[in-house]
Amino acid sequence: MALKENLKAVKEELNSQEQMMENFIKSERFIKKYKYYFITLIVLFIIYFGGSYFYNLKQESDIQKSNIIFNNLLKNPSDQKLLEELKQKNANLYTIFIMSQKNQELNQTLNLEIDPLLKQIVLAQNNQKSDFLKDYNTLLVGFDFLKQNDFKNADIEFNKIPINSPLWQIITSLKHYQGIK
């Protein structure tokens, strides 16, 4: 009986080793068959992550250079060379600098490729039609009426703002505080 059990155990062990070898051979054939696809996939991953890393590194470098130029301009606002350099490197920071200096060139910044929200802020600051910030402008006009105790005109201005506006909570609070219904 012991000999039968030993033979059975040896046979099972051989079967498991056979299966392992068979799986190894199948996987080796699979890898050989698709090795060029695997190599291509690995190369593409390396290129993607390498390119992404270097792109982010360049972006960070450009941001740091722009910040240095901006800080130098804050120290010396009349330096036209730095102003031109900032305009070339980062149009958004250039626009912000022009806004902070209350310069007449602010309208010229609208022709640059700047952030859409910043463009809307520039339009609002120049009292031009700013679709994105029109609710905010209406809120400011209504608030000016409140300061003058002109509740009727304040209510008219506040009612121009749609209920789904993010500013509606502020308007409701102002109306409640002033007793406007």
What would the two tokens of residue 102 be?
């209350």
Q: For residue 41, give Cα distances in angstroms to 46, 54, 106, 163.
A: 9, 20, 49, 52
- The number of distinct structural domains making up the chain is 2
Asked whether the beta carbons of 165 and 134 are under 8 A apart, the reply is no
Please indicate, yes or no, whether residues 113 and 139 belong to a single structural domain of this protein: no
Domain boundary among 127, 150, 165: 127
pLDDT of amino acid 14: 67
Residue 4 placed within a domain: no
Rounded distance, CA 132 to CA 124, Å?
9
Encode the chain (181 residues) as per-residue pLDDT tens digits: 566 776 677 677 767 777 888 888 888 888 889 989 999 999 999 999 999 999 999 999 988 998 898 888 888 888 889 888 888 888 888 888 887 777 666 777 777 888 777 777 777 776 666 656 677 778 888 888 888 888 888 888 888 888 887 777 888 887 776 666 5
pLDDT of amino acid 49: 96
Structural domain for 75, as ranges:
34-127
Q: What's 128's DSSP letter?
A: S
Rounded distance, CA 82 to CA 70, Å?
8
Please indicate, yes or no, whether residues 110 and 139 belong to a single structural domain of this protein: no
pLDDT of amino acid 129: 65
At residue 34, the 3 state secondary structure works out as coil
* Model-wide pTM > 0.85: no
Domain boundary among 110, 127, 144: 127
Residues 6+ apart with CB under 8 A from 117: 132
Please indicate, yes or no, whether residues 41 and 118 belong to a single structural domain of this protein: yes
Residues 6+ apart with CB under 8 A from 105: 98
Residue type, 100: S
Asked whether the beta carbons of 113 and 85 are under 8 A apart, the reply is no
